[in-house]
Amino acid sequence: MEISSNYHLPLVFLSIIIAIIDSFAALDLAIRIAKAKKGISRNIWLICGAFAMGMGIWSMHFIAMLAFHLSINVSYNLVVVIVSIVPAILASWLALRIVTKPSLKTAQVIIGAFFMAIGIVSMHYIGMEAMVMKGNITYNPFLWGLSAVIAFITSLVALYLLFSIRQNSERPRVWLRKTISAIIMGFAISGMHYTGMAAATFNHDCNQMNMSGVSFDSTFFAYVIGLGMLIILGVVFISVIVDKRFESQVVESERKFQSVIESANDAIIIMDSEGTIISWNNGARNIFGYEEREIIGKNLQVIMPNSYRVTHQEGMKRFISTGQPHVIGKTVELEGLHKDSSVFPIELSLATWVEEGNTYFSSMIRDITERKRTEAKINQMVYLDPLTGLPNRRLLNDRLSLALDQAEKNKQTIGIMFIDLDRFKYINDTLGHAIGDKLLIDVAKRIQACVKKTDTVCRQGGDEFIILFPNTTTDEITKKAQKIIDLVGQSLMINEHEMFVTPSIGISLYPTDGWDIETLIKHADTAMYRAKEHGKNNFQFYTPDMNEAVTKKMQLEIGMRKALERGEFKLHYQPQVDVKTGNIIGVEALIRWLHPELGPISPAEFIPLAEETGLIIPIGEWVLYEACRQNKAWQNMGYPPIRVAVNISSRQFQQPNLVDVVKHTLNETGLDSEYLELELTESIIQDSNYAITTMEKLKEMGIRLSIDDFGTGYSSLSYLKLLPINSLKIDQAFIKNIFTDAKDTALVQTIIDMAHNLDLKVIAEGIESSEQLYYLQQRQCNEGQGYFFSRPIPAEEMLRVFDRQVLIIDY
């Protein structure tokens, strides 16, 4: 006999509402699980989500069963009830597992929906079997099959809806789509349950024995389950909301962090434990040339030169297996490989971390090409001469120090060659520093061409070069010195100027000439000065006696600095005579030095040293003042006024205050300017514009000007017509040989004729015989001086000469 039944409608509505809410929760869970990172976090969400969703489906089913009232008493087998929960949870787990995959294939959906349907149908009919009553249940095969079909279709629709909502979770108004989808899913799940219930027919069975079961107020218990399920779903929704907020904060932080990464000029690259690139910023694109879409998924070795790849791979494997870092946490300099296959220097900082059991690496890479260029420039500034590119003294000292250590260990000979260019200052002064710099560059190349790569050519400064010859011999260094002299001495063509420059070379050897850097270089320098003294354009090996000459030179320099204060300088005067009348028309003031220890010092010995040290300036001013003072004193003594000739050195003439010094001297001594003659050398007038301006100022003061030692310099004859001079002095070297050298005879005649044609007077120096005097008289020379008339004598002896008046001896 069939048992009558009815539904408690409020519970029916509650079951449908729970189905809808559970479906909505399932949609949120699918989105959360998909966004969760792989690993523990995702698994926790998946398990908890499957439990909540499964319990929701089961509670809807159980509440719906409790809403079904039979006319007989019904109790429930608690074990079977609990067992019915399991298929619901497994079906929910399978659904969430499928829809959170990156893509959804049709076969996966159908198979998944099939197993989900089995789980839901199993849950439903196992739950039906939990009913304990005096009756039995028979099923309408059609409705039973329909309920299974509905379960399959519901699962299929649920999977598509879950996947669709998950994929479109960022679109606007997604909540509306979720609500509609939840309603569809809720009604579909409910429809399957109530179809299954409709398939069941309950019949009385008086023979069935009483079975143990749990009896309770079904309506009250249904509301309790519903309330409990709503609480569980509420916890789910709260968890989802909290996770959303946390996610939004994380997303915002990641967005900010990503913006920092993207705006960084350095390359920031993230890799997995296999070296596969998973993150690539704009800095990396700019440095290596690869777009993000080209490089993601490729191994980091794609940006490494071949020489680094094996080492990098072995290093990663070693770290992953041992956990011992070698490069991680440090900054190292390597090389990177650009997309265009060019190799460039990089600076790499490597870090690592472990996330959910997986090891990741982050690389911060900086292109240090510019820094390397700057370092090279700094090194060049520190160790190389900026003009010639040769090593400087600092680098030479480093290499020489190493060479000395090697030589001491292996008993080798080291050679030091000190080179100074002859007449370079003259070229620099006459043609300008630009020409001088080009000359130094060409000379440096010629010197380098004479040595081996193992030798070091260094520019000491100015026109000085030093060469280091490690492990050499005397014969070898001799040949190289001669080779340098031959090659450097060849003509140079610079800016259409053909010029010649010669080297003076000094050589010292280790260990015979010294054991340390300073001694070897000092001795080579000393030997170079000996080469200068031997006529330049030659080389000299250092010998111990050279130190005596250097010591004397230093003694002279120190003595000269004190000589003015101590009154050790004296002036001697040599008469200048009119060669026709024999009358004294002037004197030339010549300096003499009586050293308190060394005795008389020749001007030829100390004047060049005074020029070199700059002491010629105060000495020259003293000579000028003393000569003017003495001339004025003679005039005050009643002697006829004559002119006094004072030599002006090249360095003295270049002083910008020369005119003022002369004017001040004349004012101080009271000497009229017409009685002062300044003798200038040809080298003074090489800078013609400055020379002419200065000479004109002196000439305007009434001072006589003459060119001393004419014919021994290198000035252009065209300058003579421009210079405001009064006379030319023929050097004694020409006068000495007028009877033995036809060329000197011709030169003397030419100078006299040229001077007269330019309306200049001529004075001959070094007249020592009556024959020379007679020759000069016949050639119309105007004036003369020399030992034939008088040697240079002190001022007090000049009084006897003045008393004689006429110095020409009758011949």
Cα separation of 647 and 677, whole Å?
9
pLDDT of res. 688: 63
> What tens digit of pLDDT does each residue of 314-329 get?
777 787 777 777 777 7
The whole-chain average pLDDT of the chain stands at 82
Cα separation of 771 and 740, whole Å?
13
> What tens digit of pLDDT does each residue of 194-226 get?
776 777 777 776 555 554 555 556 677 667 777
| Spatial CA neighbour of 348 closest among 358, 369, 362 | 362
Q: What's the pTM? A: 0.46
CB 624 within 8 Å of CB 646: yes
**C-alpha torsion sign, points 216, 220, 221, 222:** positive
> What tens digit of pLDDT does each residue of 106-143 get?
776 677 667 677 777 777 777 777 777 776 777 778 88
> What tens digit of pLDDT does each residue of 552-565 get?
777 888 888 888 88
> What tens digit of pLDDT does each residue of 414-430 get?
999 999 999 888 888 88
Residue 539 backbone phi and psi in degrees, to 5: -125, 150
Question: Exposed (0-12), middle (13-18) or buried (19+): which is 511, by Cβ within 10 Å?
Answer: middle
Instruction: Count the neighbouring beta carbons within 10 Å of the beta carbon of residue 345.
Output: 17
CB 31 within 8 Å of CB 197: no
User: Lowest-pLDDT range, 95-109, 397-411, 445-459, 767-781?
Assistant: 95-109
